[in-house]
Amino acid sequence: MIRSRTVLDSWKSIRNDTVQAVLDFPADSLDEKPLAELMSFRETAIHILDAGLGLSGVLLDGIDNLSTPEFRPMLKKYSANLPADASAQAIADALSNAMQQSLLRLSEKGADFYAGEITRMDKARVTRLEMLQFVKEHELAHRAQLFLFLRLKDIVPPTTRRRLAAANKG
Helix or strand (DSSP H, E) at 125:
strand 125-127
pLDDT tens digit string along 72-87?
A: 999 999 999 999 999 9
| CA atoms of 129 and 3, how far apart (whole Å) | 8
Burial (0-12, 13-18, 19+ Cβ within 10 Å), 93: middle
Give pTM, 2 decimals.
Answer: 0.95
Confidence of residue 2 (pLDDT cuts 50, 70, 90): confident
Give the domain extent around 67: 4-169
| CA atoms of 42 and 80, how far apart (whole Å) | 14
| CATH number of residue 13's parent domain | 1.20.120.450
Q: Which 3 state secondary structure label does DSSP give 52?
A: helix
* Structural domain count, the chain: 1
Helix or strand (DSSP H, E) at 97:
helix 88-107
pLDDT tens digit string along 91-132?
A: 999 999 999 999 999 999 999 999 999 999 999 999 999 999
pLDDT of residue 1: 67
